[in-house]
């Protein structure tokens, strides 16, 4: 479960959700506080029957409860059969439409689900990332994505922008590492006619085009420092100068940035602090290999093939799953294309990380015996418990604690799974 849905109001009673309150006055704040912090909760409130004062008092209490208890709870206040409106107030959003309250809620849920489905994967790292995206839907400030080349930063930025308060406004992106410095400045800021040789007309830069919307700066760590200073000025003053201009242009742009360079020298510290109020860590493919079959199936389904990952030869499965993918998802997609063209994958060298880990663990066992006097039997028991516990935590979260499903994956009885969960203290 990526997020929990709770509805408030008689008109929303029959919508599929985890909990329903008949009215705003029936909302149990203690219940909300005790929902837990692992899974985001979204309240859908039919606000058409309440006065502005009542809603203001409720929202005041709601917001303070969230802040005091650090709960990942957000709210949509719905005004059905009204004028089109979108208001953003921190932890809640007011949405008005000529549609019914029920239809507005359903449209919001469908939009969230469709956007999240574009990020393929159900590994623990991806689930946590999707939950962060759900929470960031109510945030209108800068977000920085940290991830390696080819890991899908552009898709993640588009998803964040689509679900954000500016989701229906312009979205533009530019790769700062792919364009020479002189061209990058004109692409971003634009220029006035006659500002340099060859400037026969005025050019509108991406920053101005993205006014009221979102601009995604990919690989901002490769942006020249002098241009970084100009981006910083925009975040501070909400204005910029076109090349050759004497008067500033006012803009309201939300920046989403991404970089695969985390060293301090790659970016001005003041700009880093300004753009990274929220940081999302996009895991490399080698750290979420369980998602590879899902990505494989998605690609083949989109291309109209019936074959799925489970149907391909065993040696090809091993090759796909054992490779470490320095080029991440982009490289995986190329390998899938190679498989479709040649029915073979020849470019990947199988480099099993398991064999490396076994050698490392064997050395750790020797060290533990020498330093702590730990027997090899006790060492192996600790490894078994640690690995079992981690697998149970990850799979139980993804399978919504379905004991029968866990038993099937582990090849154990449901009773034994319950005993393991208790022994290893997995909640």
**Percent of the chain with pLDDT strictly greater than 70:** 96
How many other CB atoms sit within 10 Å of the CB of residue 370?
A: 9
Which pLDDT tens digit goes with each residue over 267-295?
A: 888 888 899 889 999 999 999 999 999 99
Q: Contact 1/35 with Cβ under 8 angstroms?
A: no
pLDDT tens readout for residues 99-142: 999 999 999 999 999 999 999 998 989 999 999 999 999 999 99
Helix (H, G, I), strand (E, B) or coil at 184: helix
> Hey, what CATH class is 104-283 in?
alpha beta
Q: Is the dihedral of CA 159, 66, 275, 127 positive or negative?
A: negative
In the chain, where the domains are located: 12-98, 104-283, 289-351, 363-426
The answer to whether residues 257 and 216 touch, using CB atoms and an 8 Å cutoff, is: yes
pTM greater than 0.85 (yes/no): no
What tens digit of pLDDT does each residue of 44-103 get?
999 988 888 898 899 998 888 888 888 899 999 999 999 888 888 888 999 999 999 999
Would you place residue 354 in the very low, low, confident or very high pLDDT band (cuts 50, 70, 90)? low
Cβ atoms of residues 369 and 376 within 8 Å: yes
- In whole angstroms, give the CA distance from residue 102 to residue 80: 8
Lowest mean pLDDT among 112-121, 256-265, 379-388, 397-406: 256-265
β-pairing verdict for 143-146 and 254-259: parallel
The pLDDT value given to residue 348: 56
Give the closest residue to 285 by CA, choosing from 126, 127, 132: 126
């Amino acid at each position: 479960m990526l997020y929990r849905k709770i509805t408030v109001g008689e008109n929303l009673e029959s919508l599929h959700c985890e909990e329903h309150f008949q009215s705003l006055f029936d909302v149990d704040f203690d219940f909300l506080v005790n929902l837990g912090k692992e899974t985001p909760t979204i309240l859908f409130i039919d606000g058409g029957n309440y006065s502005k004062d009542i809603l203001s008092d409720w929202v005041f209490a709601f917001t303070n409860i969230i802040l005091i208890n650090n709960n990942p709870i957000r709210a949509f206040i719905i005004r059905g059969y009204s004028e089109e409106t979108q208001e953003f107030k921190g932890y809640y959003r007011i949405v008005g439409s000529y549609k019914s309250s029920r239809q507005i809620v359903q449209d919001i849920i469908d939009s969230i689900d469709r956007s999240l489905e574009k990020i393929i994967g159900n590994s623990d790292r991806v689930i946590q990332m999707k939950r962060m995206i759900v929470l960031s839907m109510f945030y209108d400030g800068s977000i920085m994505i940290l991830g390696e080349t080819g890991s899908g930063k552009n898709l993640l930025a588009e998803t964040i922008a689509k679900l954000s308060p500016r989701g229906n406004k312009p979205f533009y992106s530019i790769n700062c590492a792919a364009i020479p410095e002189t061209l990058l400045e004109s692409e971003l800021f634009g220029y006035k006619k006659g500002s340099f040789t060859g400037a026969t007309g005025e050019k509108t830069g991406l920053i101005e085009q993205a006014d009221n919307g979102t601009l995604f700066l990919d690989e901002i760590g490769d942006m020249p420092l002098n241009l970084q200073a100009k981006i910083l000025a925009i975040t501070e003053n909400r204005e910029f100068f076109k090349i050759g201009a004497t008067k500033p242009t006012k803009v309201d742009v939300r920046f989403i940035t991404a970089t695969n360079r985390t060293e301090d020298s790659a970016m001005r510290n003041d700009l880093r602090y300004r753009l990274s109020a929220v940081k999302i860590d996009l895991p490399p493919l080698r750290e979420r290999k369980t998602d590879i079959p899902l990505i494989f199936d998605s690609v083949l389904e989109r291309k109209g093939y019936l074959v799925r990952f489970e149907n391909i030869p065993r040696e090809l499965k091993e090759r796909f799953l054992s490779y470490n993918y320095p080029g991440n998802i982009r490289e995986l997609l190329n390998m899938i294309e190679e498989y479709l063209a040649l029915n073979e994958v020849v470019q990947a060298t199988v480099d099993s990380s398991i064999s490396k880990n076994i050698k490392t663990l064997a050395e750790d066992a020797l060290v533990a015996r020498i330093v702590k006097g730990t027997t090899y039997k006790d060492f192996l028991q600790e490894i078994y418990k640690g690995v079992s516990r981690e697998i149970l935590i990850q799979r139980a979260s993804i399978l919504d604690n379905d004991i029968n499903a866990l038993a099937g994956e582990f090849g154990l009885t449901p009773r034994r799974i319950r005993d393991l969960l208790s022994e290893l203290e997995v909640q």
